[in-house]
Amino acid sequence: MNDSKLLAGKLALVTGASRGIGAATAEALAAAGAHVILVARTASALEEVEERIHAARGMATIAPLDLTDGESIGKLAGAVAERWQKLDLLVLNAAMLGSLTPVPDIDPKEYSRLLSLNLLANQALIAAFDHLMKKAETADIVALTSSVGSEPRAFWGAYGSSKAAVETLLGAYADETAYTGRIRVHIVDPGATRTRMRALAFPGEEPESVKPPEVVASAIVERLTADAPTGEKVRIEA
């Protein structure tokens, strides 16, 4: 096996894989030899990522679904179990920004949707795939977070609170599984990155002034193929 195929034989699942950091990470994992399951709501966008992976001689399978639908997550886990019997890598990337607004003005319905995707779906994914990761020789979970999850900022209360909860959730799972020595949890703050979410949050920012998603994807793959500890939070700089 050469250095570029360090993940050969591994099965990875990436949420929010239709664009941005999710798509870039999926392509990087495939380039490293993993078979990647691409998850997002829009089938056409997933097909574009799949085509790029196949064109680069990688392996990918699309799984269009709404992650806020708990039944869909369970059905996906069942399909993965039937076809592959295990899961080696789970990348929890899908998220929504929501409105940047003062805490008293947070819309309850939007906040509920945000928490459903940013937090509850991630717990549901861990619950659904836990037994498949434990069947792997070793397994890794990568959860994308944000600096506002640990450093509260005005108007970012809704999004920031969802990321703070994700960090706590994943930290607890890391502690619960550390004894096995076979499951690692990585909490990754990508920092300022050229994504659609970033453009929505900072509409006046020059996109070229921040790093592209490929930098984050490369750092994630590097961490997955290194001797990194479980439960650690890391920030990726330019």
Residues acting as catalytic residues: 159
Detail the DSSP E strand segments found in 127-182. Answer: 139-144
CA dihedral for 212, 214, 215, 219, sign (positive or negative): positive
Using alpha carbons only, what angle is made at residue 5 by residues 232 and 63, rounded to the nearest 5 degrees? 75
SS3 labels along 40-91: ECCHHHHHHHHHHHHHCCCEEEEEECCCCCHHHHHHHHHHHHHHCCCCCEEE
Q: How many residues does the chain have?
A: 238
CA distances from 52 to 42, 47, 198, 202 (A): 16, 9, 24, 29
Given a contact cutoff of 8 angstroms between Cβ atoms, the answer to whether 18 and 42 are in contact is: yes
Tokens standing for residue 74: 């369970």
